[in-house]
Amino acid sequence: MEASPPPAEGWPTQLPSRDVDGVTAMGHWSFSIPDYSMCPLDDDNSMRGEIRMLGGRGWRIFVFPCVRAKGVAAGSTSVFLELLDPRNPQAAAFVIRITSSEKAYTYDRFATHYFNADSTDWGFRSMLPRSTVCNRERGFLSENDTVNVEMHVAVFDSEASMLEWKKGKAKAEPSGDAWNTSRSSTLAHVGLKNQGATCYLNSLLQSLFHTAKFRKAVYHTPSEENWTQSQLEEAAETGDDSSDSGSSGTGAVYVHSRVNTAADKTPSNSSNKEQTVDSVPLALQRVFYQLQTFNQAVGTTKLTKSFGWNSYDAFQQHDVQELDRVLCDNLEQKMKGTAQEDVVKQLFCGKMRNFIRCVNVDYKSERVEDFYDLSMNVKGCQHLLESFKQYVEKERMDGENKYNAEQHGYQDADRGTEFVEFPEVLHLHLKRFEYDWQRDCMIKINDFFEFPDRLDLTEFLTDANPDNAPVYRLHSVMVH
């Protein structure tokens, strides 16, 4: 049976069009996994679809409904593309797509491969967790308990043609969304391994990684890593940064609405030599590069070793705000004297003014300070804007607490804080814990607290510029 020609609509954007040099055939077909919810967790339970002819060759979908996957208790679905007669090698780019019954949701995985006698099939062992497939809100599991798998394939006349197309694709303007998870065209969701109690670290790293300007600055930080040309090209392929991810601390990260989250990412090839074991920037570069190019969870052992941690430290909870500052301070030191010198400060640094102003005489004391994150009250506040109002609320100094205004003597005064400048990326720490003096311990505040997708802080900024209003969109959240 011949594969169907490309549809008028819905052809995956990751794949080439018919007019691309070297493309000899294009087609698609589907396969239904029956009785999906009844499939046992069995690495040997496989299914093969009907043979489809494309480019004069026989192809088919090869599925393991539910296999064991590390970190996925309920198992995962594996899907592969198989070339039946590999005696004549064949180069192909393909997208495996799982669609919902009403096609409201689709999940794509993209790959290229040179099929030959030593490698007759290619695909994804952990295509999608079974729990996600069975999630009724997604609709991947139909009413008759089947799952629909689509295969979209573009065949090339040679491996060289495929690689040439892929190289040109890397230079093109990237596009995609969170559910199109090609490692070469979009930034997908790849996890980080937990060393024991490093979930807070992983969330911080994911949030920073998905901040494109920061990621680019990390890649350009001087280190002694000798990045190869292929690594440079592969790193430059990814671009979409629209997805939300975990964030630092119990709180939220907001990105200024003017920030372009898609940026070029190219690891630097610097001659600046340093001890690799102790190099935080180099270890962070490796983690980011692996997050960008790997199809499986990434380890952080080398990164924590660069902090000077041992295995005991990995099982201890550390302060995520302090860890964030350690990372950024280390990067700023390495960036001195380079084109990236002020990037960290430009991204995360804001300015606030602490003041004491006398009520009845013309006397004041003011001091402007930098801040890289803000700790916001949760207790007594139901919304983030209420927390900001508490933050800038003035305190009247009177009675026995009058302010000594030097030549004016003791005067009634207002003490408070006002914001002079907000950063491009705003890190907010929600104060979910407070000390209980009666119990002599920290207790968690479980009160309702709301934070919006869009945050306008214009009212809290002195001398706000209407052309550059502090309007943010929610980028990442962590509740720990």
Give the pLDDT confidence score for residue 295 in this predicted structure.
Answer: 74
Give the pLDDT confidence score for residue 447 in this predicted structure.
Answer: 85
φ, ψ of residue 421 to 5 degrees: the values are -155, 130
Residue 160's alpha-carbon distances to 18, 21, 57, 164, in angstroms, are 17, 11, 19, 6
What CA–CA distance (Å, rounded) separates 457 from 24? 55
Give the pLDDT confidence score for residue 410 in this predicted structure.
Answer: 93
Residue 265's alpha-carbon distances to 210, 231, 461, in angstroms, are 12, 11, 33
Give the pLDDT confidence score for residue 51 in this predicted structure.
Answer: 93
Q: H/E element holding 347?
A: helix 343-348
In the chain, DSSP finds a helix count (H) and a strand count (E) of 11, 22
- Please name the residues in contact with 148: beta carbons below 8 A apart, sequence gap of 6 or more: 30, 31, 32, 33, 98, 99, 101, 142
φ, ψ of residue 147 to 5 degrees: the values are -120, 130
Q: What is the largest CA-CA distance in the chain?
A: 96
Residue 217: Cβ-neighbour burial (10 angstroms; 0-12, 13-18, 19+) = buried
Give the pLDDT confidence score for residue 58 in this predicted structure.
Answer: 93
Tokens of 119: 């490698």
What CA–CA distance (Å, rounded) separates 464 from 458? 6
**Average pLDDT of adjacent 10-residue blocks, the chain of 480 residues:** 78 86 92 87 86 92 82 76 88 89 73 88 85 76 86 92 80 39 48 83 88 83 55 40 33 54 39 55 86 82 81 66 80 80 88 95 94 91 94 94 92 95 91 84 86 91 78 82
Tokens of 111: 């790959």
SS3 26: strand
Ordered alpha helix ranges (H), 78-226: 130-133, 159-171, 199-209, 212-219
Query: Which residues partner with 102 through β-bridges?
Result: none
Q: Computed from CA positions of residues 139, 141, 143, 147, in that sequence, does the dihedral angle turn out positive or negative?
A: positive
Task: Convert 271-309 to b/e letters by CB count within 10 Å (16 or more is b).
Answer: eeebeeeebbbbbbbbbbbbbbbeeebbebeebbbbbeb
What CA–CA distance (Å, rounded) separates 181 from 293? 11
Return the amino acid letter for 289: Y
Tokens of 94: 């393909």
What CA–CA distance (Å, rounded) separates 358 from 360? 6
Give the pLDDT confidence score for residue 311 in this predicted structure.
Answer: 66
Judge whether 264 and 236 are in contact, CB under 8 Å. yes
- Please name the residues in contact with 448: beta carbons below 8 A apart, sequence gap of 6 or more: 382
- For the full predicted model, state whether its pTM sits above 0.85: no
E strands within 345-412?
A: 350-358, 364-371, 374-377, 395-397, 403-404, 410-411
